[in-house]
Amino acid sequence: MNRLLTATLLLITAATLPAQQVGYTPAGSPYRDLNQSMELTVMSGRFSALSDPAGVAPQGGGLWGALYGWHAKGPLFLTGSVTRIGSQRRIIDPLATIKDRGTVQWPMMAFDGALSLSLTGDKTYHGFMPLLNAGLGLITDGHTQSDVGDYEFGTRFEFVWGATVRYIVSSRWGLRADYTNRLYSNGYPQSYYVAGRDGNP
């Protein structure tokens, strides 16, 4: 009996309270629907590569490219990008007396496709939209033959992942900042593992 009476009194009290507003009115909400279904972005930035033991893999340099994005559904986006990397690398001849042949410009191209997940769904928050990205691609230096030291980078598969922050300025314009990791393999010819004329491998 006591439990029933308590529940009834709470219901009566709640019914007599004035109506309270929860959340925001549409005009005052910090969230805005994303009206664009497609995106075309011109990119520029910097590519930084980890150093490899032999010091011959393509290293860092400026990059520029283009990205196409499509709003698939809800918080999901699909992107495709083409990037030119102004890389450079050191050429060595491991079997020669003078191994180091100097550093040369070694541009690369990357072709990537990724799936992006918006952390704010299909809306922006105060104009901002953070995303998490993951995808696959190809990275190539365009060379089909090895160098004088028999090293060849060639074309390699890569796994890409990272994060993006988009800022929607208007219905037609926006800005984005991307941080992307690229994971690809690197191998050496057998000559890099044997002793040269000076006795050092």
Instruction: Write out the chain's pLDDT in tens, 201 residues.
Output: 444 343 333 333 334 444 444 556 666 789 888 888 999 999 999 999 998 888 899 999 999 999 999 999 999 999 999 999 999 999 998 878 778 889 999 999 999 999 999 999 999 999 999 999 999 999 999 998 999 889 999 999 999 999 999 999 988 899 999 999 999 999 999 888 877 666 666
What single DSSP character describes residue 24?
-
CA distance 33 to 122: 6
Distance CA 55, CA 6 (A): 77
Q: Cβ contacts of residue 167 below 8 Å, gap of 6+?
A: 127, 128, 129, 174, 175, 176
So what's the pLDDT on residue 36? 84
CA distances from 197 to 54, 96, 100, 148, 192 (A): 17, 7, 13, 16, 12
DSSP letter, residue 18: P
Query: Pick from 73, 61, 69: which is nearest to 108 by CA?
Result: 61
189 with 151: CB under 8 angstroms? yes
Q: Which residues are CB-contacts of 130 (< 8 A; sequence separation ≥ 6)?
A: 118, 119, 120, 163, 164, 165, 166
pLDDT reported for residue 149: 87
Backbone angles phi, psi at 17, to 5 degrees: -75, 145
User: Whole-model pTM?
Assistant: 0.80
Element (H or E) spanning 13, and its range? Answer: helix 2-16
For residue 195, the model assigns a pLDDT of 73
Question: Amino acid identity of 22?
Answer: V
Report phi then psi at 26, rounded to 5.
-55, -40
Angle at 80 between CA 77 and CA 82, to 5 degrees: 150
- Please give the structure tokens belonging to residue 22: 């929860």
